[in-house]
Chain A
Amino acid sequence: MVIEDRRDTRHWSGSAAIVGVGYRVSRETEKPPTPLRLILEACVDALRDAGVEREKVQALFATRAPVADQHPQFNVKIGTELGLTTRFSTEVTQHAAGTIASLKYAMLAVNSGIVDYALCCGGDTSNLWIQGTRRVGATAFHDSDPQFETPYGPSMIGIYAQHAIRYMHEYGATEEHFARVAVEHRRWAVAHPQAVMRSKGLITVKDVLASPMIAYPIRLFECSPRLPQGSAGALLVTRAEIAREICERPIYILGVGECSTNEYASDRLSLLGTRSFERPTYTESGLTLAATDAYDMAGLGPKDLDVVQCVSNFSSIFLTVIEDLGLCARGEAAAFVETGGIDFESGLPVNTNGGHLGFGHPGPSMNMDSLVEGVRQLQRRAVGKQVEGARVCLVHGTGAPLLGCNAVAILGTERPN
């Protein structure tokens, strides 16, 4: 990939911080909540956590409308219920990647002089959107092209499986490598009280390879479960000067980047001729560009990361994710995983809530789950295994099939000099 037009954005690094967090996970034992209710609970919690009255919150950045609700301009619906009089409000949607990208919008907003506080929020409930999917008769739902893909019966898994085939073809990775990714994620999940796969216990590579094939070469244990039945999060962001005054432990936004390249899988392979992609490919994505922007703003590189929360909705795509993030060289993710690169005890702490494979994937709010986990680790408020001495965490969110949309945030406990 050609990376050009790199800019000096260092002055933004640490200019804003997260000063309040709210987070709700809905368990299957509860009556299923609506996504709106879940999001509102998270928002109220975030304002209480920060000790900031709602009158001060003038910016609202909501992630895309929940799949389970589909009401357009969901940001207005949220703001209305919260009783906000927003002066700067929008949905941030690069599909679900907007969850992470909203931190960038918040950072720019609170440093613009227009507002002091920005609330970033989003959530979804899987039980309701699965019902909706069945009604439509769609397959991969919003994520397959209604004319050129849906008629052939693709499942979301079948679309990601095509990446897996290419990854094996191009880099010689094996089904054992994919299985190992699932094994390590499960170990983090077992250590996390909110992870849905915790109760299923530890698994081995052999267990994964023995689980039923869903869409060759992806097996059941290599797919993220459509649980918990709902989750929502909210983060209150303000500029660094205010954050230092009102918050004991602000989490600074050190770097942010986003990149969207395609709506559907077919579109990804139409990128031929665009400058960054000299050849169409499934095994490299715009995440490379998003990560480069975030690292450049932060003045940091992959070696500086203490914790990483990234996309793992299927075990195979995880390999391209960690390559795009620069955690290992291109084509070497399988070897990286095989030699203990993401080992629960000794590797880089990646997806400390179990990731999408282990924590679950309650719809587009899976990126919010990653974001809240990253913030909790830095606040030393982890509810699972706390990574000792974690000072810098990278969070990656995606949306659209095969990493079509990506956003990256690098968060830290200290403001750069």
Chain B
Amino acid sequence: MSATEFGGYRSGGFVEWDRRFVGLHDPPGDTTEFWDGIERGVLMIKRCGACGITLHPRRLVCRRCMSMELGWTQASGRGRLYSFSTILRPPHEEWADRVPYTIGMVELAEGPYLFSEILCDTTALSVGLELELEVVVAPHGRLAKFRPTR
């Protein structure tokens, strides 16, 4: 399944679980370049065509100059851990056999912050930990995760 096929948007009410999480309740048309990048093993983020700052892949309007001429640029995949939490009680049975796992916010070297899973021994976790991208094949598609820099 290519990244552009997933997650047909259905409005109203509860939507049954689809083939993957991404796209749930959410038209993916504005972010296909991000997901196609993940399929290729690279991290794509937004860059403002007018003022040049880099932005989270979801952004549609530049936070600095309000330009909507946002393009895509490949990020280095490096960053630092801004914050984290190790989940011990899973939010849903889908994750029941995966606890404990750690989610966190990664401050990318380029500036934007990206929510992700941190593949790391819990004793090594600390704010500021140096991280690098690792694309992982998950049950519902490839996902951008991070591990400590080797």
**Which residues of A316-340 have CB atoms within 8 Å of chain B's CB atoms?**
none
Interface residues of B in 22-79 (CB under 8 A from A): 22-26, 28, 31, 53, 55-59, 63-64
Shortest Cβ gap from A72 to chain B (Å): 7
Please tell me if the beta carbons of A148 and B58 are within 8 angstroms of each other in the complex: yes
Interface set, chain A 35-91, CB cutoff 8 A to B:
70, 72
10 further contact pairs, Cβ within 8 A, besides A150-B22, A157-B87, A270-B58? A148-B114, A152-B115, A152-B117, A158-B91, A162-B83, A162-B103, A162-B104, A165-B127, A169-B127, A212-B89
Do residues A153 and B90 form an inter-chain contact, with CB atoms below 8 A? yes
Q: Indicate with 1 or 0, residue by residue over A235-279, a CB within 8 angstroms of chain B CB atoms.
A: 000000000000000000000000000000111011111100000
**If the complex has contacts A146-B25, A216-B85, A216-B88, are A274 and B63 also in contact, measured as CB distance less than 8 A?**
yes
Shortest distance from the beta carbon of A116 to any chain B beta carbon, whole Å? 35
Which chain A residue shows the least CB distance to B116? A152
> Is there contact, CB below 8 Å, between A266 and B115?
yes
State how many angstroms separate the Cβ of A288 from the closest Cβ of chain B: 19
B residues 1-18 in Cβ contact with A at 8 Å? 12-17
For A152, what are the chain B residues with a Cβ–Cβ distance below 8 Å? 103, 115-117, 143, 145
Interface string of A130-143 (1 = CB under 8 A from B): 00101111111000
Q: How distant is the Cα of A214 from the Cα of B23 in the complex, in angstroms?
A: 27
Q: How long is the Cα–Cα vector from A139 to B37 in the complex, in angstroms? A: 25
Q: Which of B57, B82, B90, B122 has the most CB of A within 10 A?
A: B82
Contact across chains for B115 and A148 when beta carbons are under 8 A apart: yes
Closest A residue, CB atoms, query B117: A152
A151, B88: Cβ atoms closer than 8 Å: no
Given A145-B58, A146-B24, A265-B105, A155–B15 Cβ distance below 8 Å?
Answer: no
Q: B149 within 8 Å of A by Cβ?
A: no
Provided the pairs A147-B23, A273-B53 are in contact, do residues A158 and B111 lie with their beta carbons within 8 angstroms?
Answer: no
Cβ-based interface call for B92 (8 A): yes
Q: Tell me the bound Cα distance from A137 to B139 in angstroms.
A: 14
- In the complex, residue of chain A having the shortest beta-carbon distance to the beta carbon of B94: A137
In the assembled complex, the Cα of A214 lies from the Cα of B85 at a distance in Å of 10
Dominant SS among interface residues on chain B: loop
Please give the distance in Å from B67's CB to the nearest CB on chain A.
12
Interface residues of A in 112-136 (CB under 8 A from B): 132, 134-136
Contact (Cβ within 8 A) A162 B114: no
Kindly list the 8 A-B residue pairs having the minimum CB-CB distance in the complex, ordered from nearest: A161-B85, A155-B91, A269-B113, A139-B91, A162-B83, A137-B17, A216-B86, A146-B26
User: For residue A136, which residues in chain B have a CB less than 8 angstroms away from its CB?
Assistant: 14-17, 24
Residues of A within 8 A of B89 (CB): 155, 157, 212, 214-215
Could you tell me which residues of chain B, from 114 to 142, have a CB within 8 Å of some CB in chain A?
114-117, 122, 127, 138, 140
Cβ 8 A contact of A266, one of B17, B56, B87, B95: B56
Interface status of A154 (Cβ within 8 A of chain B): yes
B-chain residues with CB within 8 Å of residue A146 when the two chains form the complex: 21-26
> Does A282 have its Cβ within 8 Å of any Cβ on chain B?
yes
Is the pair B22, A213 in contact by a Cβ cutoff of 8 Å? no
Smallest Cβ distance from B88 to chain A, in angstroms?
A: 5
Residue of A nearest to B65 (CB): A273
Minimum CB–CB distance for A85 against chain B, Å: 27
User: Is the pair A154, B115 in contact by a Cβ cutoff of 8 Å?
Assistant: yes
Tell me how far the C-beta of B20 lies from the nearest C-beta in chain A, rounded to whole angstroms: 7
Does the CB pair B113–A215 fall under 8 Å?
A: no
- A273 in contact with B17 given A145-B115, A147-B23, A151-B143 (CB within 8 Å): no
**Contact between chains at B63 and A272 (CB < 8 Å):** yes
> A166 contacts the other chain (Cβ, under 8 Å)?
yes
Cα of A164 to Cα of B149 in the assembled complex, Å = 25
Q: Which residues of A have CB within 8 Å of B12?
A: 70, 72
Q: Which of B84, B104, B138 contacts A151 (CB 8 A)?
A: B138
Residue contacts A-B, CB under 8 angstroms, 8 given: A146-B21, A152-B143, A152-B145, A153-B101, A155-B87, A157-B87, A163-B83, A214-B89
1/0 per residue A151-183: CB within 8 Å of B?
111111111011111100100000000000000
- Nearest A residue to B63 by beta-carbon distance? A273
Q: How far is the CA of A265 from the CA of B84 in the complex (A)?
A: 12
- State in angstroms the CA–CA spacing of A302 and B67 once bound together: 40
Q: Which of A164, A215, A272, A280 has the most CB of B within 10 A?
A: A215
Q: Which residues of B sit under 8 angstroms from A414, Cβ to Cβ?
A: none
From known contacts A146-B22, A151-B21, A162-B105, infer whether A266 and B143 are also in contact, taking CB-CB under 8 Å: no
Task: Give A128 Cβ to nearest chain B Cβ, in Å.
Answer: 11
Chain B CB within 10 A, most for which of A146, A147, A166, A272: A147
The minimal Cβ–Cβ distance linking B15 to chain A, given in whole angstroms, is 6
B68 CB to nearest chain A CB (Å): 15
- CB of A153 within 8 A of CB of B103, answer yes
